Structure 1
């Protein structure tokens, strides 16, 4: 069963996507000093345009995951949600919407591109603050809202032990061996591991050479991990997700500097490894056996994802503009985190009261509207306040001065 699919109640899917610390659309980093660029280069290319195409892509990725959960899950999951077999609900569309689960892979591609872009020129402290304030405020809000639905509404998810709730607040439930409160939270661990390992390069100072070496080392680790028999290595390098992050990083280097045979080689190797893991027995983490006649289309969809990010890296989408794309980009994270438990609960209760497509359409519009409200009135102000607080705080391992003690007789 896919990690983005629902389990039965007894065992209660995308920086990721990211953006600038100020909450706007991704921007190209300003060029670094010429001394940092490889000697063979004329210097990095400066592009200050908002990458509206990335915002649009990540919103489409989030929407594809939403529709996968509502329309395209495995037969057992569809029966679990709707109370009816998918043949009665979406007999033709079901197989097509099943590909929506690959929206997570598109998230990872975009994340590799944007995290590298947003980290360039930042100190490790700034990088840490931007990641913490990007992830945790919205994540905590999503847990609170989802927990309220699970514990106070009749849902198909049962009532998990509160211990699961507390572990999920840390975002470390996967290494703790605890179920995620919502199955879509599994993608946050690969993101955290990416941030953790990439922060080493940020600490040393981002340069073209160091980032390329990072991509090479991570690729080797991802290849060796499945057969090394070292669970900790597999947990950290996330072999099935790594090729997408690595390709995204290489695409950003193309965008910042220029395409080279070396970068295209990294992308090609990542594309091959991505297809290997997607087409592996049981689809790596996704059980594609249910749609075995469609395996050729898996290759096509993943390849299209790579081509879309390549188009952005080569500057072919620079004329794509629009504030609505920027707004849509800000909704992707809350939409991804909120749609599953809330949306599926609505489908479970109202799925037999109107035509299935009407229920899906209204529910999808509803979770998008909810995402806007939460992003506008919860995530943004909390993240801004947290950013100001952390920016003014001193990060040091030295103990702070002791409080003065008054003499008492």
Structure 2
């Protein structure tokens, strides 16, 4: 995470937001525990076991994705502020692709070796998945968790457009317009606009980006109202699908718990922005933050395949916690052996390619 320029009147020092790394890890563990403790056995016959001791709590872990999007709004606007189109695109590519290529390849190999018919994957499907846009190429994802990446990419495109038209300094105005449009589309849906504006989850990107503005420029009445409207819409959208969710997964979901969890996400991130997290702000969570993305990409289908092969042969506690430990170890290896080594190489290749392209492109005037 890069340092972020502050306004001349802002005396707060710029720097890494340590708590963001911890929040990322919490979000990834919420999703992992949702999958392992509850979702795998609840529907679709994805896993031969769940973990009933944790299932009543972590059936709400699907909300970890909403927390991810909230954090993404904060971090991506931070990365783009004061930057260039080229710098933003290069930073996103080197951040996303090396770990994704590694996790997608490992998942594919595990699926063809041990996945059986439930987790079958073709080589063509694998190659298309490696683009990270398989969703737009009408090809099934090798792992279901990839669905959220397509939404992230759409958010990046919107930020890139702001950079291209040199309006990133007016991000607050565009966030207000995006929020108003999202609210309007909630009651008067227009399919193509809902797709382009990511209306099902936009409120979390907007909320996180607005909270970043609080972090970088301070709290104002306008920003407070934006965060409140974003939160209310986030609660409404999260609760709206609970009945269908409960029916599909054969469980009872409490809208009060759901609303409180969503509210807590906003409250915690706002405390970070207001520098109200005390000693936690001074703690370094770099390793936890580094594990988050590869852990998210790696855990689901491989974990289920392990469950399906080990259940009935090993102690359930050993399977559950051992698989989590294995996924954390795998994420650590991907980060250290792939991400850290590939990122600088990929950055050089991208910059050289862009330099060559710019030299071949006729200049205007």
Same-fold call, TM > 0.5?
Answer: yes
Rate the CA distance shift 1:224–1:155 in 2: closer, same or farther, 3 A.
farther
What secondary structure is seen at the aligned counterpart in 2 of 1:153? helix
Gap runs ≥5 in structure 2: none
Question: Superposition pairs for residues 334-353 of structure 1, below 5 Å?
Answer: 334-353=294-313
Shift of 1:278: 0.8
- Return the alpha-carbon distance in structure 1 between the equivalents of residues 102 and 188 of structure 2: 38
1:50 to 7, 13, 16: 16
2:252 to 272, 288, 292: 292
Rate the CA distance shift 1:99–1:205 in 2: closer, same or farther, 3 A.
same
- Return the alpha-carbon distance in structure 2 between the equivalents of residues 343 and 278 of structure 1: 26
- Return the alpha-carbon distance in structure 2 between the equivalents of residues 288 and 49 of structure 1: 42
Deviations 1:45-72 (A, max 9, x none): 5433432211011111111111111102
Deviations 1:277-335 (A, max 9, x none): 1111456xx71444435221001111111111011010112632334x11110110000
Aligned to 1:363: 323
Contact map agreement 1:28 1:50 (CA 8 A) in 2: yes
Shift of 1:30: 2.6
Residues 1:393 and 2:353 are matched in the alignment: yes
- Return the alpha-carbon distance in structure 2 between the equivalents of residues 217 and 273 of structure 1: 15
- Return the alpha-carbon distance in structure 2 between the equivalents of residues 47 and 265 of structure 1: 26
Q: Normalization by structure 1: what TM-score?
A: 0.81
Aligned to 1:8: none
Residues 1:106 and 2:67 are matched in the alignment: yes
Aligned to 2:152: 191
What secondary structure is seen at the aligned counterpart in 1 of 2:279? coil
Rate the CA distance shift 1:222–1:372 in 2: closer, same or farther, 3 A.
same
Aligned to 1:372: 332
Rate the CA distance shift 1:264–1:155 in 2: closer, same or farther, 3 A.
farther
- Return the alpha-carbon distance in structure 1 between the equivalents of residues 127 and 181 of structure 2: 32
Q: Normalization by structure 2: what TM-score?
A: 0.90
- Return the alpha-carbon distance in structure 1 between the equivalents of residues 132 and 240 of structure 2: 28
1:257 to 217, 242, 245: 217
Rate the CA distance shift 1:171–1:79 in 2: closer, same or farther, 3 A.
closer
Shift of 1:77: 3.0
- Return the alpha-carbon distance in structure 2 between the equivalents of residues 111 and 267 of structure 1: 15
Residues 1:30 and 2:12 are matched in the alignment: no
Contact map agreement 1:29 1:48 (CA 8 A) in 2: yes
Gap runs ≥5 in structure 1: 1-19, 21-26, 35-42, 402-409
- Return the alpha-carbon distance in structure 2 between the equivalents of residues 128 and 229 of structure 1: 31
- Return the alpha-carbon distance in structure 2 between the equivalents of residues 389 and 318 of structure 1: 42
Contact map agreement 1:156 1:348 (CA 8 A) in 2: no
Contact map agreement 2:40 2:47 (CA 8 A) in 1: no
- Greater shift, 339-348 or 157-166, is seen at 157-166
**Bigger Rg, structure 1 or 2:** 1
What secondary structure is seen at the aligned counterpart in 1 of 2:59? helix
Shift of 1:125: 0.6
1:278 to 216, 238, 242: 238
1:63 to 14, 25, 29: 29
1:132 to 77, 93, 100: 93
- Return the alpha-carbon distance in structure 2 between the equivalents of residues 370 and 132 of structure 1: 21
Tell me the C-alpha RMSD between the 2 structures. Answer: 2.4
- Return the alpha-carbon distance in structure 1 between the equivalents of residues 101 and 317 of structure 2: 31
- Greater shift, 248-257 or 131-140, is seen at 131-140
Contact map agreement 1:49 1:318 (CA 8 A) in 2: no
Equivalences, count: 359
Aligned to 2:127: 166
Shift of 1:172: 1.6
Deviations 1:248-268 (A, max 9, x none): 011010000110010011111
Residues 1:118 and 2:67 are matched in the alignment: no
Aligned to 1:223: 183
- Greater shift, 155-164 or 294-303, is seen at 155-164
